[in-house]
């Protein structure tokens, strides 16, 4: 029996933490005392390209990653590096997402098929651009509190969500950003929400008791109904579509706006070169008496 046999588990785990994943796997086969060498690795690096260059197959790589993550005890991972070539057989998008320990995830131009249940316990931020979800429940599951209990930021841009409606109801969320004109119904049920950016053709449905926490709002068409509840908002950004929406109908503009946004410090507006838009500008400035930053972008001819 060598001296390492007398080392405490904490010391053995610390030593193993400096090894590569492959070397840690070899050490775990040395003796029973080291069989849990892979269970608490704090640095995990998986590179499919290097794996294939050493003569292994894609299936070997998949099984290797599965084995390492199955053995891991769920302790903190400080570094996680993954380089893969996604395919439809061995390394599918669904399997890759299931591997992730990351705090921030960006998905670009991939297709995720359902039904599937996700588990990303460390994820705090997710950004999706041009992602196709073949089932409307897949996206709902991905951003749910069951899959991502620590999720704070969600951004969805130009995605196919598998249906016309989207419900966001993760109580841990602080920021929701949606740039998607195909979504006909957006519901946000988040009690401590701080930021909403909505560029959809439909008005987001947000309960009144969820509006008071908002401090940062950017909106497109059809959301003036929620303005009255924004008592603590500090940043307002409205694009030209929203401003144009305020100009519709026979009612006066004053009747469509709250009398005062006392807490607003930053006001960003995108305006058409028109008399009505200029009137909206005057009313918004008047409604924000303590604003310190005013940014105006003219669309078309300069105002």
| 56 in any annotated domain | no
Write out the two tokens for 183.
Answer: 């979504």
- 8 A C-beta contact, residue 185 and residue 166: yes
| 233 in any annotated domain | yes
Global confidence as pTM: 0.63
pLDDT at 219: 66
| 257 in any annotated domain | yes
- 8 A C-beta contact, residue 215 and residue 233: yes
Instruction: Output the tens digit of pLDDT for each of the chain's 303 residues.
Output: 556 556 676 777 677 767 777 777 777 776 676 667 677 777 788 888 888 888 888 888 888 888 887 777 766 677 777 788 777 677 776 677 667 667 788 888 878 876 666 778 788 999 999 988 887 788 888 899 988 899 999 999 999 887 778 899 999 999 999 988 778 788 899 998 899 888 776 667 888 788 878 888 776 545 556 676 777 888 988 888 777 777 765 555 555 566 678 889 999 998 888 888 888 888 888 888 899 999 999 886 544
SS3 content of the chain, % helix, strand, coil (to 5): 30, 25, 45
For residue 256, report the phi and psi dihedrals to the nearest 5 degrees. Answer: -100, -5
| CB neighbour list of residue 257: distance below 8 Å, 6 or more residues apart | 224, 227, 246, 283, 284, 287
pLDDT at 155: 95
| CB neighbour list of residue 115: distance below 8 Å, 6 or more residues apart | 135, 137, 138, 141
| 33 in any annotated domain | no
| 77 in any annotated domain | no
Residue 156: is it exposed, middle or buried by C-beta count within 10 angstroms (0-12/13-18/19+)?
A: buried
DSSP for residue 205: B
pLDDT at 74: 66
| CB neighbour list of residue 297: distance below 8 Å, 6 or more residues apart | 268, 269, 270, 271
Distances (CA, A) of 255 to 122, 204, 249, 251, 272: 45, 21, 11, 7, 21
| Tally of domains in the chain | 1
pLDDT at 115: 65
The packing angle between helices 21-28 and 58-71, to 10°, is 70
| 172 in any annotated domain | no
Measured distance CA(5)–CA(267) in Å, rounded:
65
Write out the two tokens for 38.
Answer: 């892979």
pLDDT at 302: 41
| 296 in any annotated domain | yes
Domain that includes residue 219, residue range = 215-303
Measured distance CA(246)–CA(270) in Å, rounded:
13
| 93 in any annotated domain | no
pLDDT at 170: 94
What is the length of the chain?
A: 303
Measured distance CA(60)–CA(255) in Å, rounded:
66
């Amino acid at each position: 029996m060598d001296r390492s046999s007398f080392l405490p588990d904490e010391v053995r785990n610390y030593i193993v933490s400096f090894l590569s994943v492959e070397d840690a796997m070899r050490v775990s086969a040395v003796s029973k005392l080291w069989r849990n060498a892979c269970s608490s690795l704090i640095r995990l690096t998986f590179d499919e390209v290097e794996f294939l260059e050493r003569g292994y197959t894609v299936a070997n790589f998949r099984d290797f990653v599965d084995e390492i993550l199955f053995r891991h005890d769920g302790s903190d991972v400080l570094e996680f590096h993954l380089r893969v070539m996604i395919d439809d057989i061995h390394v599918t998008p669904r399997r890759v997402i299931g591997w992730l320990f990351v705090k921030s995830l960006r998905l670009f131009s991939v297709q995720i098929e359902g039904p599937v249940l996700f588990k990303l316990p460390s994820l705090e931020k997710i950004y999706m651009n041009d992602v196709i979800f073949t089932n409307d429940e897949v996206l709902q599951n991905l951003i749910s509190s069951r899959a991502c209990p620590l999720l704070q930021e969600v951004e969805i841009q130009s995605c196919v969500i598998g249906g016309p409606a989207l419900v966001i109801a993760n109580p841990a969320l602080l920021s929701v950003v949606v740039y998607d004109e195909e979504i006909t119904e957006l519901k946000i049920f988040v009690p401590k929400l701080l930021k909403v950016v909505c560029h959809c053709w439909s008005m987001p449905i947000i309960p009144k008791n969820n509006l008071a926490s908002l401090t940062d709002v950017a909106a497109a068409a059809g959301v003036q109904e929620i303005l009255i509840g924004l008592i603590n908002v500090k940043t307002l950004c409205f694009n030209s579509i929203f401003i144009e929406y305020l100009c519709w109908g026979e009612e006066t503009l004053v009747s469509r706006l709250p009398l005062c946004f006392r807490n607003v410090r930053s006001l960003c507006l995108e305006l058409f070169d028109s008399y009505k838009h200029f009137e909206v500008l005057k009313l918004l400035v008047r409604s924000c008496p303590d604003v310190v930053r005013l940014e105006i972008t003219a669309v078309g001819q300069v105002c």
